[in-house]
């Protein structure tokens, strides 16, 4: 592999690993906040137990999220020095503000975890709200840098690469920032909810629960389903809006995502299949006539640009069509599952019956991992769909990459690190919750 491909594989692996923990790190705190508030409102200790157990899981995940985030942040300079030189001049502002958000999260996380028993209730809730705020703010600010790579703004550059006329705030609020940052946040909330739902579904399906435990898991599961439904619904709208931004600002990315070669009005939407590089068309896909034009700008006669419109060497790879489809497909599947689950709950609990059929619980065990997969596919789509550019139409990935030659052994070292951390995280979480089952928690709270 040449250095550029190696650098991409290396950095991609680091990000793919980090994004799991980062996404849960945004999603789970929201669930904790909701549980803490429900505990106060309903005066039901089950919610306090939920908050406590989710916090424990969150703390473990944060233990990986922080160092893996540190790795990603520093590796940017190590693997993409050419890129960071421009970043430093133009878009270092959100990076820096992100640090403050990160400080807020780390400060109040320590306070919430290590000082909860010494704090008044009110302050405890404020602490956990600030943790959740810090987490989502970090995600939004980092997304600002990524969106700036997709739709760069706020500077001018001469042919020889001198940068002038910098406006850091314009770079920050680049055209795709608001839409993408919103999409990143709501999909993270959706993933956090489905991660909780997965665990709940597993417990409910396995049965052998005491009455208390069953009540506890049902409450948690229902809460996760409601939050999951709300945020997957919002995600679908915000995803749609993001695609419209693509139509406006990154037409070749949209064309590659849809496998569209000819520029046309009344463009069809192709779902599934793959883009055949020889015949230059989508094979085995389902075509919905006129739909793409309508989705792109709300009118059937919208002109959608095809790949032939652009020089061949700037085409994104064809596989982004599949990435895009999987991301969208997972989104709709989860939206449907959550809606069905809530329908069953509404229908059966009125009739005092067991609310969820077993097949549904079985499917919902996979909702958390699937949601995470959707996030991964979305990020890979966003970044490979921008190729060959690192900064769209400003800097190619090859120009940005490091020229150091010894990447391969380091890459292997870090793959080993990620495997080890991943395995350890799973072991730690399972062994902790096995030794501290919910039933133990009820004993502690029975004195209230």
Partner 1 sequence: MNEEVIAILVLWTFIFIYSIFGSIDFGAGFWAMVYHEHRTSAGKIANRFLSPTWELTNVFLVLLVVAFVGFFPKGAFTLGTVLLIPVSLILFLLAVRSAFMVFSYSVQGYRKTMFFISGICGVLIPALLITVLPVSQGGFISGFNGRDVLLIGKLFTSPSLYMYILFGLTSELFLSSLFLADYSKVSKQEGAYRLYRGNALLLGPLTLIAAVVTLMFLQPEANWLIDNLYDQRMWFILSFLAFLVGYTSLWMRNSDMDTAGKPRLALLAIVAQYGFASYGYGMAHLPYIVYPGLTIYDAFTAKETFYSLMIMYAVGLAILTPGFYVFWRLFLKDKRYLQQE
Q: Closest Cα to residue 217, out of 375, 50, 408, 407? A: 50
Nearer to partner 1, 36 or 98 (CB): 98
Residue 412 CB, nearest approach to partner 1 (Å): 11
Nearer to partner 1, 86 or 269 (CB): 86
Nearer to partner 1, 118 or 208 (CB): 118
Tokens of 136: 């989502």
Tokens of 223: 């809460």
Nearer to partner 1, 199 or 365 (CB): 199
Which residues make Cβ contacts (< 8 Å) with residue 447, sequence separation at least 6? none
Q: How far is CA 131 from the centre of its chain?
A: 18
Among 9, 40, 95, 399, binds partner 1 (CB under 8 A): 95
Tell me which stretch binds partner 1 (CB under 8 A): 53-61, 310-318, 322-330, 361-369: 53-61
Tokens of 351: 């009739």
Using rule CB under 8 A, residue 12 touches partner 1? no
Tell me which stretch binds partner 1 (CB under 8 A): 42-50, 236-244, 267-275, 405-413: 405-413
Tokens of 164: 């002038």
Among 432, 437, 440, 445, binds partner 1 (CB under 8 A): 432
Which residues make Cβ contacts (< 8 Å) with residue 218, sequence separation at least 6? 200, 204, 355
Among 41, 158, 159, 169, binds partner 1 (CB under 8 A): 169
Tell me which stretch binds partner 1 (CB under 8 A): 164-172, 240-248, 339-347, 350-358: 164-172
Residue 84 CB, nearest approach to partner 1 (Å): 5
Among 215, 288, 419, 424, binds partner 1 (CB under 8 A): 424
The whole-angstrom separation of Cα 337 and Cα 368 is: 12
Nearer to partner 1, 201 or 407 (CB): 407
Nearer to partner 1, 69 or 192 (CB): 69
Among 404, 408, 440, 445, binds partner 1 (CB under 8 A): 404
Nearer to partner 1, 156 or 206 (CB): 156
Among 1, 42, 43, 96, binds partner 1 (CB under 8 A): 96
What is the DSSP track for 220-277? HHHHHHHHHHHHHHHHHHHHHHHHHHHHHH-HHHHHHHHT--S-BSSPPEEESSEEET
Cα dihedral across residues 137, 138, 143, 148: positive or negative: positive
Using rule CB under 8 A, residue 135 touches partner 1? no
For residue 146, list its beta bridge partners: none
Using rule CB under 8 A, residue 288 touches partner 1? no
Nearer to partner 1, 297 or 417 (CB): 417
Tell me which stretch binds partner 1 (CB under 8 A): 110-118, 182-190, 221-229, 308-316: 110-118
Q: Closest Cα to residue 176, out of 243, 230, 121, 77? A: 243
Tokens of 267: 């463009």
Using rule CB under 8 A, residue 152 touches partner 1? no
The whole-angstrom separation of Cα 369 and Cα 296 is: 30
Q: Closest Cα to residue 71, out of 360, 421, 358? A: 421
Total of chain residues touching partner 1, rule CB under 8 A: 70
Nearer to partner 1, 260 or 391 (CB): 391
- Look-up: residue for tokens 């599934």? 272
Using rule CB under 8 A, residue 103 touches partner 1? yes
Rg value, the chain, Cα: 23
The whole-angstrom separation of Cα 383 and Cα 228 is: 26
The whole-angstrom separation of Cα 149 and Cα 392 is: 6
For residue 281, list its beta bridge partners: 276
Burial classification of residue 235, based on how many CB atoms lie within 10 Å of its CB (0-12 exposed, 13-18 middle, 19 or more buried)? buried
Residue 329 CB, nearest approach to partner 1 (Å): 34
Using rule CB under 8 A, residue 111 touches partner 1? yes
Residue 101 CB, nearest approach to partner 1 (Å): 9
The whole-angstrom separation of Cα 340 and Cα 232 is: 13
Binding site residues, partner 1, CB under 8 A: 56, 59-60, 62-64, 66-71, 73-75, 77-78, 81-82, 84-90, 92-93, 95-100, 102-104, 106-111, 113-115, 118, 155, 163-164, 166-169, 402-404, 406-407, 410, 413-414, 417, 421, 424-425, 428-429, 431-432
């Amino acid at each position: 592999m040449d250095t550029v491909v190696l650098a991409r594989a290396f950095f991609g692996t680091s990000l793919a690993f980090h994004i799991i923990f980062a996404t849960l790190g945004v999603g789970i705190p929201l669930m904790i906040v909701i549980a803490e508030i429900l505990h106060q409102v309903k005066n039901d200790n089950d919610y306090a137990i939920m908050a406590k157990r989710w916090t424990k899981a969150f703390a473990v995940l944060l233990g990986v999220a922080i160092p893996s985030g540190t790795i990603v942040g520093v590796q940017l300079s190590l693997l993409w020095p050419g890129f960071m030189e421009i970043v430093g001049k133009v878009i270092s502002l959100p990076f820096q503000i992100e640090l403050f958000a990160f400080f807020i999260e780390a400060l109040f996380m320590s306070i919430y975890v290590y000082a909860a028993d010494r704090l008044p209730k009110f302050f405890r809730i404020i602490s956990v709200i600030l943790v959740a705020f810090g987490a989502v703010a970090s995600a939004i600010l980092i997304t600002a840098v990524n969106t700036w790579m997709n739709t760069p703004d706020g500077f001018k550059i001469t042919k020889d690469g001198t940068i002038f006329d910098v406006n850091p705030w314009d770079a920050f609020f680049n055209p795709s920032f608001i839409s993408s940052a919103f999409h990143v946040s709501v999909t993270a909330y959706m993933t956090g909810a489905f991660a909780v739902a997965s665990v709940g579904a597993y417990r409910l399906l396995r049965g052998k629960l005491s009455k208390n435990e069953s009540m506890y898991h049902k409450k948690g599961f229902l809460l996760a389903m409601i939050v999951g439904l709300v945020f997957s619904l919002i995600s679908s709208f915000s995803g749609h809006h993001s695609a419209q931004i693509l139509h406006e600002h990154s037409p070749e990315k949209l064309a590659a995502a849809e496998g569209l070669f000819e520029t046309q009005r009344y463009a069809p939407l192709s779902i599934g299949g793959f883009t055949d590089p020889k015949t230059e068309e989508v094979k085995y896909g389902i075509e919905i006539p006129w739909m793409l034009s309508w989705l792109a700008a709300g009118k059937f006669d919208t002109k959608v640009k095809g790949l032939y419109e652009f020089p061949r060497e700037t085409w994104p790879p064809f596989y982004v069509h599949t990435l895009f489809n999987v991301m969208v497909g997972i989104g709709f599947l989860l939206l449907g599952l959550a809606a069905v689950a809530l329908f069953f709950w509404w229908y059966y609990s009125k009739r005092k019956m067991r609310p969820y059929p077993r097949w549904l619980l079985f499917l919902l065990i996979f909702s958390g991992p699937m949601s995470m997969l959707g996030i991964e596919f979305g990020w890979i789509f966003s970044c490979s769909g921008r190729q060959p550019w690192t900064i769209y139409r400003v800097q190619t990935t090859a120009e940005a990459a490091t020229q150091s030659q010894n990447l391969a052994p380091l890459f292997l070292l870090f793959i080993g690190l990620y495997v080890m951390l991943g395995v350890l995280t799973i072991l730690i979480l399972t062994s902790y919750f096995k030794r501290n089952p919910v039933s133990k928690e009820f004993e502690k709270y029975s004195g209230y």
